[in-house]
Structure 1
Amino acid sequence: MDKNSVYRTNIIGAGEAGVAISVDMDKNAVHQTNSLFWDTKGNDILGATALPRYGAFVSEETCQLFGDVSGKRMLEIGCGSGESLQYHGERKASELWGIDLSENQIEKTRQHLTACGLSAKLICSPMEEKCGIPEDYFDFVYSVYAIGWTTDLEGTFYRIASYLKKDGIFIFSWSHPIHKCVVAENNRLVFKKRYFDESWYSVTLDESTLTLSDRKLSTYVNALAKAGFAIEQMVEQSDDELMNDSDFAKKAKMLPVTFVIKARKL
């Protein structure tokens, strides 16, 4: 293995594994790499995570983080193929907005919502950048397995805070960082990566490349605090009712796969 290579497991918590090459973080290069990934094979390789699921073995039906969204203005960061927007549209949200880095994902969302008899205002842009989303406007901003793709976590959280009304709610999920440090070997869980390693890396999966960083939980918590959020709830417990007999589920019984944070704008 090259000295600049680092073993990474469960790239975004969905069971993928491989050797990652450490890279320097260049925002434009990361955006280009990841948008190409999602424009081409992203859904085929990683699939799609959408409400009511927050990630592996965690659901909104159990957590009840949103409550009643009827009449609420909703913005999704990383709208993917549109299923989470559909989920809120069917629960009578008054406005649906979505942003995504990938033109292909935006088009999938548009087609999906149209087929469901719903509409949304959709914007293709990196989440870190100003893109015409109104400020002090939304009741909820949420993100299901997308926030981890940002190149600027603190800047993204500040921008999300600007979109929300006072006391507005931000809910997001991502792969739990401890899960990404551990692999199953010979019926044992073995650490393969330092939890404290937040370096950027690239991984090639099925001839497609993506670039990510694995952030500590404290990095997310501190960035939320700096952006003016108060954390109301954090979920890192898997739902036993969603478990199966797979090796992935057995690992999830030992340590969290997904974490979800609900925070309020002060």
Structure 2
Amino acid sequence: MDKSAVYKTNSSYWDAKGNDVLGAIVLPLYGAFITEEKCKLFGDVAGKKMLEIGCGNGRSLQYHGERKAFELWGVDISEKQIEKAKHHLKTCSLSAKFICSPMEENCGIPEDYFDFVYSIYAIGWTTDLDGTFNRIASYLKKDGVFIFSWSHPIHKCVVTENNKFSFNKCYFDESWYTVPLDFSQGELNLSDRKLSTYVNALAKAGFIIEEMIEETDNEILESCDDNSFFVKRAKMFPVTFVIKARKA
């Protein structure tokens, strides 16, 4: 896997298409059918210093800004996404410090500084999970909290065939692959890591896991009029996971 090629492919996609194709998952949503309003992983953020990894369009930063977070920072691989985030926060009378960089690289973020580092459906883009978690640990104060969500690896292994769910991918296969997008929207590079890979990387970086959520919120499911196969999937197996960990 050529890291520079992955950066170029993925940043080009986010610069050109961004949320227009994949959509944006932002707080209070952690992903499909899991919400901060129900889980309350952050608690009271008033007066806290917050860093978002993969800040995208800035709406998750807005969520914390409106809850009186003291300082907002965002890092993203895409200059276009950062431009969107700056514009959006300005319209909300909020401000943040932004850095355009791959999350894996040393990019001038202060160490032992933040109360919270978080990432909503972005951490899985990293080409170096161990290195990224080590950097995140360095940004946090002692006892600081790291919260992130991503697509559940089981979800990526299952396809719909003839109105049934079938495994079509090995859960243990973490090799990088190219995802062609419909309608000539470009392509992406991804790797589907096992849950144990995330857990072990957190442990090696000095984090203590306090909570992991993978259950679909039944109240949200029951409120859905949609009876699509995505909803049916969420009733059968997890489609999103969220981990809250604390720096030891």
Q: Same fold (TM over 0.5)?
A: yes
Q: CA deviation at 1:41?
A: 1.3
Check the 8 A contact 1:184/1:251 in 2, yes or no: no
TM-score by length of 1: 0.90
Structure 2 equivalent of residue 255 of structure 1:
237
2:60 and 2:233 mapped to 1: Cα distance? 27
Check the 8 A contact 1:34/1:211 in 2, yes or no: yes
**Greater fraction of residues in helix:** 2
Alignment RMSD: 0.7
Instruction: Give the counterpart of 1:211 among 184, 189, 201.
Output: 189
2:16 and 2:168 mapped to 1: Cα distance? 30
| Displaced runs of 4 or more, over 6 A | none
Structure 2 equivalent of residue 76 of structure 1:
52
Q: How does 1:197-208 map to 2 (within 5 A)?
A: 197-206=173-182, 207=184, 208=186
Q: CA deviation at 1:183?
A: 1.1
% same residue: 75
Q: CA deviation at 1:241?
A: 2.3
Q: Does 1:141 align with 2:117?
A: yes
1:152 and 1:124 mapped to 2: Cα distance? 17
TM-score by length of 2: 0.96
Q: How many residues align?
A: 242
1:209 and 1:188 mapped to 2: Cα distance? 28
Q: Matched residue of 2:105: which SS?
A: coil
Gaps of 5+ in 1: 1-24
Structure 2 equivalent of residue 16 of structure 1:
none
Gaps of 5+ in 2: none
Q: Does 1:108 align with 2:90?
A: no
Structure 2 equivalent of residue 230 of structure 1:
208
Check the 8 A contact 1:70/1:91 in 2, yes or no: yes
2:187 and 2:163 mapped to 1: Cα distance? 30
1:172 and 1:110 mapped to 2: Cα distance? 22
Q: Does 1:95 align with 2:71?
A: yes
For 1:59, give the aligned amino acid. T
Q: CA deviation at 1:124?
A: 0.3
For 2:194, give the aligned amino acid. K
Q: CA deviation at 1:188?
A: 1.5
Structure 2 equivalent of residue 239 of structure 1:
217
Name the structure, 1 or 2, with higher relative contact order (CA <8 Å, separation 6+): 1
2:212 and 2:236 mapped to 1: Cα distance? 18
Q: Does 1:189 align with 2:165?
A: yes
Q: How does 1:21-170 map to 2 (within 5 A)?
A: 25-170=1-146
